[in-house]
Amino acid sequence: MYYIVTGAAGFIGSNLVKALNERGEHNIIAVDNLKQADKFKNLVDCEIADYLGKEDFLKKLQDGFFDGLVAAVLHQGACSDTMETDGLYMMENNYRYSLELMNYCQSEEIPFLYASSASVYGGGRVFKESREYEAPLNVYAYSKFLFDQIVRRRWHKRSAQIVGLRYFNVYGPREQHKGRMASVAYHFFNQYRAEGKVKLFEGCDGYANGGQLRDFVSIEDVVKVNMHFLDHPNKSGIFNLGTGQAQSFNDVAVATINTLRTAGGKPALSLAELQQQGLISYIPFPDKLRGKYQSYTQADTGALLGSGYIEPFLSVEQGVARYVEQMLKSTA
């Protein structure tokens, strides 16, 4: 039996492939678009049975090639660029692709775990998996929102597990290919090593400089939650995947810089000290992001806890430190 991972060479997908390998699963069909060739590096230390491009994969599905051979589908493949303005491409790649996969999984009674997004909540202040709190601000978020809505409409007719995971701000290894869409922890690490300081956005929406709050979640925890649902195929639903605790961009910067300072034999400093020494500075908030930016996110984790998931999440201080240490080892 095969596990199919779409977006397998991407950030979350490749971490899921590695996690499946660590559970002894090597019959993995890795589906991705390697037009951005550097993504192959994410799979170099992974074991897979085959690699397929999206179009070849969909044709094989339609031809019945995988019928009766699939243990589960972990669908991570999507355009994740929140600044993408080609709505036709976004809807085809994120919405239609997801719909075709879900229809196949339902017809074959295959567990289907897919990537949703916390972006569906838009600029709201309540992050609970309920329609009244959802108001996407861009076409990326709308593509995720619309698919969640279709899942809800078909809920009572489902024949197998369906799990939608609304990822909050994920950071961790294997995201280097994402460029400007990589996590702030990744960018802060590289800024500090190149320039000896970190630049954050000035305040907006009533928040102080660098004080905007996000639910930053480690890829380690994202993987654990996905594995939890694979192990509990009787559990279905749309779930927030965040820590449930918002922290500031300043917190991420402090954790990044202090881990690097400690590795270099220097003492850790407070936020105020880092600001005073010019190691943290602030740049004007971009006009193009106004009205399209979430200044605050914090997952309501009630539904996830209700599914039986009880593992503690890493804080920014814990998770970012581990991530920075891993990046240091990989660049040594």
Q: Active-site positions?
A: 140, 178
- Cα separation, 235 vs 261, whole angstroms: 44
Residue 201 labeled ligand binder = yes
Residue 248 labeled ligand binder = no
Residue 250 labeled ligand binder = no
Cα angle 178, 180, 182 (rounded to 5 degrees) comes to 50
Residue 76 labeled ligand binder = yes
What is the DSSP code (8-state) at residue 120? G
DSSP 287-325: GGGTTS--SB-----HHHHHTT--PPPPPHHHHHHHHHH
Instruction: Return the SS3 of 332.
Output: coil
Residues in the chain: 332
Residue 275 labeled ligand binder = no
Residue 32 labeled ligand binder = yes
Residue 234 labeled ligand binder = no
Residue 203 labeled ligand binder = yes
Residue 79 labeled ligand binder = yes
Q: DSSP E strands: which ranges in 65-151?
A: 70-75, 112-117
Per-residue burial over 10-36, b = 16 or more CB atoms within 10 Å of its CB, e = otherwise: bbbbbbbbbbbeeeebebbbbbbbeee
Residue 204 labeled ligand binder = yes
- Cα separation, 66 vs 68, whole angstroms: 6
Residue 187 labeled ligand binder = yes
Residue 292 labeled ligand binder = no
Residue 39 labeled ligand binder = yes
Return binding residues for NADP(+). Answer: 11-12, 32-33, 39, 54, 76-80, 93, 144, 170, 178
Return binding residues for substrate. Answer: 169, 180, 187, 201-204, 214, 293
Return binding residues. Answer: 11-12, 32-33, 39, 54, 76-80, 93, 144, 169-170, 178, 180, 187, 201-204, 214, 293
